[in-house]
Chain A
Amino acid sequence: MRDWDIEMRVSRFFIIGLVVALGAALATAQSAPKARGYTGPRTADGKPDLNGIWQAMNTANWDIQAHSAAMGRVVALGAEDAEPAGAGVVEGGALPYLPAALAKRQDNFKNRLTADPEIKCFMPGVPRATYMPYPFQIIQSTKSIMIAYQFAGAVRQVNMAKPTEAPADMWMGWSNGHWDGDTLVLDVSSQNDKTWFDRVGDYHSDQLHVVERYTPISKGVLQYEATITDPKVFSRPWTMSMPLYRHVEKNAQLLEFKCGEFVEELMYGHLKRQPNQ
């Protein structure tokens, strides 16, 4: 019993130490995205090799801002649907909503059980796709880059050549990329206004402009940063940041999650033929 207690205490100190060290590392990384001189593997053309299966490890998909643990949305699901607490991924405090937009956000919150596009298996948009609780894969060749997300099989083609303009709005936006030192910078425009940032109704308009930065800071970690500009919804640009972790298990693989099949009853169940007809 006592041995166990001591062991617990020792490991607790160890964990706290780790967390502090990690926090410090991340703080450094955030202020200096050059990643403290980390030079990882390179592709044949000398760029940082971001190939891999990545995943965020936080509660941003529940709520990108700092939040307490809270009851979930579906009573029957009990603890499984309860919202875990989170320190938030937004830099610099509360989101700078314009007054009318804040009211809409509160409406979204009230209606989140039916209005959150995640529930209908809609492609999640950027940046939400990055921090959903599903892995995603970066496929980077010397000619092009694709980013594939397990959720809804969403996918992005990144144009690394001369920036081009989208012919129309789309769910996953239009990504023009370039390298800023060892950071992959993606300029994402032309997203539609149908996706959210999280499950509590934080949202954007079709004026959303996202600049993403992916910086390798160690073999297993990409530092991710997304700066959001949306003059219809926010009074100023704001930034979220988080580490993304590499899946290192030997059989790591992006498996299918074609969730449209799983929401048919929800979306079309009321249109089923009734037995007496």
Chain B
Amino acid sequence: MTARLYTRSLTAAIALGALMIGLSPLGAVQAPTSPATTPAARPSTAPQTATKPAVKAGWRVPRTPDGKPDFQGLWTNATVIPLERPKGAKEFLTVEEMAAAEKRGNRDEEADTDAERGTADDAAAQASRAAREERRQERVAAGNAGDAATGNYNAIWWQLGKRALANHRSSIIVGADGRLPHTAEAERQLAETREWVKEHPADSADGRDNIERCLAWISSGPPMLPTFYNNTYQIIQTPHYVGILVEMIHDLRIIPLDRQPHVDAAVQQWMGDSRAHWDGDTLVVETTNLNSKRNFIGGGGGRSGLAPNNDRMRVVEQFTRTAPDILLYQFTVENPAIYSHPWSGEIPMRATKEPLYEYACHEGNYALVDILAGARAEEKAAAAKQPYK
């Protein structure tokens, strides 16, 4: 269930609060690199931002009864900032540029509304639509565009978040490049699959995207990335487990804190197998056992290709509470079968009061039925036009 319309004014209030945090130097200031903070002390997968996150001055992180930082509550990773850096953009945005990105994101929504009403066709509306199309292309590039071929919900349905990232970054991916380091072979496979998809847009359910099949969403990852809407997470902590409830398709990541070995390699899962430990006040989560039915991240959705050899994939995530309203989420992905080197990203997740509801995906999946039925109807109609074939 989409909660966004229901609590729009609340969201605006939260956003205003978050804006103040965004304007504080918090996200921009980074302590010097310290190798000791590298997750699991494995240099090969050290995040490119292996810095001890700066905690807001004069603020003490709340603690659970067993003395650990308390992350419990509702968080959102919704943002107008894309996964990959738009070509030509610099790594960090000024406050003015962040405001412009937010304004552009919001204007997209207005433009859609105008287009829907069919009333606006002046120069401003046209410019607005052009900007929206540019944004859409960015989302396509970031693998966050749904189905670009058939169109999608217009922006009124989207909850990309009206906010830039509090860390001033122009992309979720960190580093000088800000792009996914697909290997040449991975690029070739992606291109090949895209071609195949053009010829076979809706042959069967398993030829469609994992999202449409309600099997896996980029929201739960890992890494956990923002999606069209419902970018809400609820964290629960016990002395032995951390639970991260992901609103999209009611995924619950149950992560043991006890240092138990990973489940047998024969067990492969959509969300993998996660183990966590505390490194000071940072929660470090390491995930393996990911199945090879997952999508390429950033490949334009699953229809652009499955991620092969995910038995070689490893994701390390770090959660640090840096301010009352910020849970800093950092991650590094390694999979030598797809990426030429590990890549890292960062999202300062914001506290939200927007509630999280049951998202029953498979149970109400009329879209998949209609997509397949529509394709069969088209084939039938086409066949009727060629009686002598």
Contacts and interface: CB of A to CB of B under 8 A. Distances in A.
Interface of A: 43-45, 51, 121-123, 137, 139-146, 148, 152-155, 157, 167-168, 170-172, 194, 251, 253-256, 258, 260-261, 264-265, 267-269, 271-273, 277
B214 A170 contact: no
B368 A268 contact: yes
Given A152-B362, A153-B252, A260-B213, 15 more contacts: A45-B65, A144-B72, A144-B236, A146-B243, A148-B243, A155-B245, A155-B250, A251-B263, A260-B361, A264-B204, A264-B205, A268-B368, A272-B372, A273-B204, A277-B379
Given A141-B64, A168-B1, A272-B372, A277 B254 contact: no
Given A146-B245, A268-B368, A255 B263 contact: yes
B205 A256 contact: no
Given A155-B250, A273-B202, A170 B271 contact: no
A9 B205 CA distance: 55
Given A45-B65, A153-B250, A122 B379 contact: no
Contacts of A251: 260, 263
A111 to B, nearest CB: 19
B267 interface: yes
A143 B64 CA distance: 9
Nearest to B202: A273
B241 interface: yes
B206 interface: yes
In order of increasing CB-CB distance, the 7 nearest A-B pairs are A44-B65, A271-B372, A260-B362, A273-B203, A264-B205, A170-B358, A272-B204
B37 interface: no
Interface string B213-246: 1111000000000000000001011101101010
B269 interface: yes
Contacts of A258: 215-216, 270
Contacts of A137: 254
A139 B375 contact: no
Contacts of A267: 205, 369
Kindly state the interface size class of chain B when it binds its partner. Answer: 35 or more
B122 interface: no
30 contacts: A51-B238, A139-B238, A139-B241, A139-B254, A141-B64, A141-B72, A141-B236, A142-B64, A142-B65, A143-B72, A143-B236, A144-B72, A146-B243, A148-B243, A168-B1, A170-B1, A170-B360, A172-B358, A251-B260, A253-B256, A255-B263, A255-B267, A255-B269, A258-B216, A260-B214, A264-B205, A265-B205, A268-B205, A273-B203, A273-B375
B99 to A, nearest CB: 33
B206 A264 contact: yes
A268 B202 contact: no
Interface residue SS majority, chain A: loop
Contacts of B250: 123, 153-155
B8 interface: no
A33 to B, nearest CB: 24
Contact of A256 (B66, B270, B361): B270
A171 B360 contact: yes
A32 to B, nearest CB: 29
B188 interface: no
Contacts of A167: 1, 6, 357
A264 B213 contact: yes
B103 interface: no
A254 B253 CA distance: 10
Given A122-B363, A141-B237, A272 B203 contact: yes
A139 B260 CA distance: 18
Nearest to B373: A271
Interface string B4-19: 0010000000000000
B127 interface: no
Contacts of A143: 72, 236
B383 interface: yes
A202 B216 CA distance: 32
B108 interface: no
Contacts of B269: 255-256
Nearest to B293: A261
B213 A261 contact: yes
B349 interface: no
B348 to A, nearest CB: 22
Contacts of A261: 213, 215
B251 interface: yes
A273 B363 contact: no
A146 B271 CA distance: 19
B376 interface: yes
A251 B266 CA distance: 14
Interface in B180-223: 200, 202-206, 213-216
Contacts of A121: 362
Contact of A254 (B240, B249, B254): B254
Contacts of B204: 264, 268-269, 271-273
B17 to A, nearest CB: 21
Query: Which one of B72, B252, B356 has the highest number of Cβ atoms from chain A below 10 Å of its Cβ?
Result: B252
A175 B363 CA distance: 20
A156 to B, nearest CB: 9
